[in-house]
Amino acid sequence: MKIKAVVHEAEEGGFWAEVPAIPGCATQGETYEELLKNLQEAIEGCLSVEVGDAKKTDKDRIIEIAV
């Protein structure tokens, strides 16, 4: 899977990045290399969060989609 992140230069030095497709998913790093490592971990962490059961009616369907 490929996902886009927006990388910003921090005013105090270093970098920070956010992932628009995953609200609240952001991280920072003192170097660009550290940022990339932290960004990978942040995305994995955000995507691994378990969500509670969805409310559904008898007319709704639950499906699984691989991405």
Distance of alpha carbon 42 from alpha carbon 36, whole angstroms = 10
- Of 14 and 66, the structure prediction assigns the larger pLDDT to 14
User: What does the block give as tokens for 16?
Assistant: 């920070």
Q: For residue range 9-53, what is the model confidence (pLDDT) as tens digits? A: 999 999 999 999 999 999 999 999 999 999 999 999 999 876 667
Distance of alpha carbon 37 from alpha carbon 51, whole angstroms = 25
pTM: 0.70
